[in-house]
Amino acid sequence: MKLEEIKEIAKRHDIKTGKLKKADLVRAIQLAEGNEVCFEVGRSESCGQHECLWRADCN
């Protein structure tokens, strides 16, 4: 997902995007949505979240 798309999602959650990097924005969104904050922490193959919006970009 492109950074601009992520920023739009973040804004819907009243997250100030500022100079946050992509991974930080995604984690802030995960937190705001009440999900596990796990983007790019190296568990994408074992997390079990196959329907996650961020899965394609996760490592």
pLDDT for residue 51: 86
pLDDT for residue 3: 93
Q: Which of 1, 17, 4 is nearest to 52 (CA)?
A: 1
What is the per-residue pLDDT across 2-54, written as a single tens digit (0 to 9) for each?
Answer: 999 999 999 999 999 999 999 999 999 999 999 888 999 888 888 888 888 89
* Cα distance between residue 28 and residue 48, in whole Å: 20
pLDDT for residue 13: 96
pLDDT for residue 48: 80
3-state secondary structure at position 53: coil
pLDDT for residue 25: 96
User: Which H or E run includes 28?
Assistant: helix 22-32
Domain segments of the chain: what residues? 3-57
* Cα distance between residue 11 and residue 59, in whole Å: 24
pTM given for the model: 0.87
